Amino acid sequence: MSSVKLILVGGFLGAGKTTLVAQAAGRLVAAHKRVGLITNDQAADLVDTEMLRGKGFDVGEVAGGCFCCRFDDLVNSAEKLIAERGPDVLIGEPVGSCTDLAATVVQPMNRFQSGKIRATPFTVVVDPERLKDMLKREPTHNPLSKKVTYIYGKQLEEADIIALNKTDTISAGETEGLCAELRRLFPHATVLTFSALDGSGIDAWLEMVLKDAPAGQHIAEVDYDTYAEGEAELGWLNASVTLNADAPVDWKRFCLDLLKNIRASLQSKKIEAAHVKLALNAPGAALVANLTSSSGQPFLLVQGTHESPSKSARLIFNARVQTDPQILRELAEAAIRGTCGDAVRAEMGTLQAFKPGRPVPVHRFKNA
């Protein structure tokens, strides 16, 4: 039996990794390939898992730490999907604040799982607006702190492929200029472009990433103290909420209002959001909405169909924000209450607000 290919899709929070995973999985299924997906987060109640399962994909989830710190869980999740679903391809999406994956996941996977699972060239997805912030000469103009930006830069250093996403949101000239900068700064990597939202360029990326080529070839020098401090500057919140009302609710408007309310709170306190996202399921509706910076616009996607308003819904809410977790918790709870008003009753299921712990990888290769 040939080994199952594992595509790892890395990149910073809000870069569009989950949208890419969904696009790629759909295209592989259309090409008669069996696909298994593995999501990853610091805690349970993950929007990404909800969204991908809502599209009908087989999804495993590794929670409680990054793939590097939960390497055995990643292997177990992959083996479970292989045993139960027999996929030709696995796609894994690591935590967006994680780096050093070439050394701690790609190389160990290809060494210890040789013959069963083979990681393909490692892709790091880039959001053009975040990239512009990183490239600014004055660091004070970057809304992310120096230590958080350190993680961003290390992600790019270790990429086999750097994929500039969201090309539908910028001009051809901007795309060309950003790609030129990426090639100048990271000459070791192959730079390509696509829009995970509209699908342009995805086929070319899939063709490249599925080739039999060396993977994880660029081991970055990572200061784990700075890395840990950078992750600890991000407050993490995962919550599940049951929503009920006496009259039908327009859940699309509710989702957008919720993100606008939390954006207004963040702006008033000069707090930068790395990524805020939600998934809402109601009778006849499956909605996913994102906010990728405190200055950005909320973006909503309808999964499948959106029928008439209904009286009940289930909400999963994830936020990764550059602030203390308690402040984030208070902001999120206030935004949910404010959006509900008197019309909707919110019953909190689970709510976890915390800082990620220090990354301690199970394995780390010093050389490719």
What is the tens place of the pLDDT at every residue in 174-205?
999 999 999 999 999 999 999 999 999 999 99
What CATH number does the domain containing 314 carry?
3.30.70
Give me the mean pLDDT over the 18-44 stretch: 96
Q: What is the pLDDT of residue 322?
A: 97
For residue 303, pLDDT over 80 is answered with: no
Whether residues 214 and 260 fall in one domain:
no
Whether residues 29 and 116 fall in one domain:
yes
Lowest mean pLDDT among 116-120, 136-140, 253-257, 288-292: 136-140
Whether residues 25 and 88 fall in one domain:
yes
Q: What is the pLDDT of residue 308?
A: 76
Whether residues 92 and 54 fall in one domain:
yes
Please indicate, yes or no, if residue 366 is contained in any of the structural domains: no
* Distance (Å, whole) CA 202 – CA 26: 11
% of residues, the chain, pLDDT over 70? 98
Contact 353, 325 (CB under 8 A): yes
Please indicate, yes or no, if residue 12 is contained in any of the structural domains: yes
Please indicate, yes or no, if residue 272 is contained in any of the structural domains: yes
Tell me the residue range of the domain where 291 lies. 235-354
pLDDT confidence tier of residue 160, bands split at 50, 70 and 90? very high
Whether residues 89 and 201 fall in one domain:
yes
Please indicate, yes or no, if residue 367 is contained in any of the structural domains: no
Q: What is the pLDDT of residue 140?
A: 58
Q: What is the pLDDT of residue 2?
A: 81
Whether residues 241 and 343 fall in one domain:
yes
Looking at 199, 231, 263, the residue that finishes a domain is 231
Mean pLDDT of the chain: 95
- Strands 89-92 and 235-249, by their bridges, are unpaired
Whether residues 240 and 223 fall in one domain:
no
The total of structural domains in the chain comes to: 2
Whether residues 206 and 295 fall in one domain:
no
Please indicate, yes or no, if residue 65 is contained in any of the structural domains: yes
Tally of CB atoms within 10 A around 342? 6
Give me the mean pLDDT over the 219-226 stretch: 98
Please indicate, yes or no, if residue 58 is contained in any of the structural domains: yes
Whether residues 315 and 335 fall in one domain:
yes
Q: At what angle do helices 146-157 and 224-232 cross, to 10 degrees?
A: 120
Please indicate, yes or no, if residue 365 is contained in any of the structural domains: no
Whether residues 101 and 203 fall in one domain:
yes
* Distance (Å, whole) CA 156 – CA 143: 19
Looking at 181, 213, 231, the residue that finishes a domain is 231
For residue 307, pLDDT over 90 is answered with: no
For residue 304, pLDDT over 90 is answered with: no
What CATH number does the domain containing 208 carry?
3.40.50.300
Cα distances from 12 to residues 48, 165, 235, 322, in angstroms, run 14, 12, 15, 13
Give me the mean pLDDT over the 321-338 stretch: 97
> Which candidate, 45, 99, 90, 48, places its Cα nearest to that of 69?
99
% of residues, the chain, pLDDT over 90? 91
Looking at 214, 231, 248, the residue that finishes a domain is 231
Q: Which residue has the higher pLDDT, 51 or 138?
A: 51
pLDDT confidence tier of residue 284, bands split at 50, 70 and 90? confident
Whether residues 195 and 276 fall in one domain:
no
Please indicate, yes or no, if residue 359 is contained in any of the structural domains: no
Whether residues 217 and 252 fall in one domain:
no
